[in-house]
Amino acid sequence: MIRAHLASFPPRAGILMQTVNSILPQVDRLFICLNGYDDVPDDLACHLKIEVLIPDRDLKDAGKYAFEPADNDIVFTIDNDIVYPPDYVAQTTSFFDVLPADKHILGYLGSAWVAKNDHGEGGWKNWMFHKRAPHLMKVDMLGTGTACQLGSNLPRLQQIEDAAGFVDLRHANLHRQAGRWLWAVPRNQGYLTSTMSEELRDSSLFHTVNNMRPDNMVGELRQLMKHVGPHSGEQHARLRSAGYL
């Protein structure tokens, strides 16, 4: 089964269906965690392919992991402020032809800790989901709004709920601990588009959680940086030719 997992909350009600309508034709099932809702909106209730959960607590972005897939499912974790192109699922899964899904995780927003100057000082290099990226790149962290993985590799809610608000960090650490590699896949400029507006930015997790820098988030980031994997920011083609793949 090809499935997509999404978490949302009431401030995004006005843009949610743009995301839903873009991904629904491409998957067998769409699972949505509606944090802070009292009832399932009619637009969602009428779709047989959609399963909705209204949790008894605010799971934030950890709600993407509130649904348990079968081991051989392909799972796309998505965000409520992105429109996914019609070939998104087919295009993304095609990279599993060269990167076996049991050992590799794919995505479109990636970050790698790389040397920034001749003195070897490190810094983050980012591949943003809406910008052109010509190469398949090994990264240390993926944005979970544009990630794809095998069901057996998907973190479970009990592994990730205490990182709600910064699940990208926990997601990266869990895969690193399991020995899996993360990859930012190539795409053209504007392949994915954001529906985020200025009036919605204040409700984003970047503002409500990340900017507050809670201690547990800082600790998660330190764990990631302490154990940065090999070959960060290197191209797949170079790693393959060097015999690492």
Model confidence at 75, in pLDDT bands (50, 70, 90)?
very high
| DSSP conformation class of 85 | P
| Domain boundaries, position 94 | 2-241
| DSSP conformation class of 138 | E
Mean pLDDT of the residues in the chain: 91
| Residue 161 β-bridge partners | none
Q: Of 15-24, 66-75, 108-117, 133-142, give the lowest mean pLDDT range.
A: 108-117
Residue among 14, 164, 17, 19 at smallest CA distance from 79: 19
pLDDT tens column, 38-66: 999 999 998 999 999 999 999 999 999 99
- pLDDT at 122 (0 to 100): 76
Model confidence at 24, in pLDDT bands (50, 70, 90)?
very high
129 touches 190 (CB < 8 A): no
Of residues 105 and 118, more confidence is placed in 105
The answer to whether the predicted template modeling score (pTM) of the entire model surpasses 0.85 is yes
- How many domains, in total, are found in the chain? 1
Residue among 3, 5, 7, 1 at smallest CA distance from 164: 7
Question: Which stretches does DSSP call E strand in 69-219?
Answer: 74-78, 82-83, 104-107, 110-115, 122-127, 137-139, 141-142, 146-150, 181-184, 193-194
Q: How many residues are there in the chain?
A: 245
Residue among 106, 48, 112, 103 at smallest CA distance from 77: 106
- pLDDT at 225 (0 to 100): 82
State the CATH number of the domain containing residue 60. 3.90.550.10
- From residue 62, how far is each of 6, 12, 94, 126, 165 by CA, in Å? 9, 16, 27, 23, 7
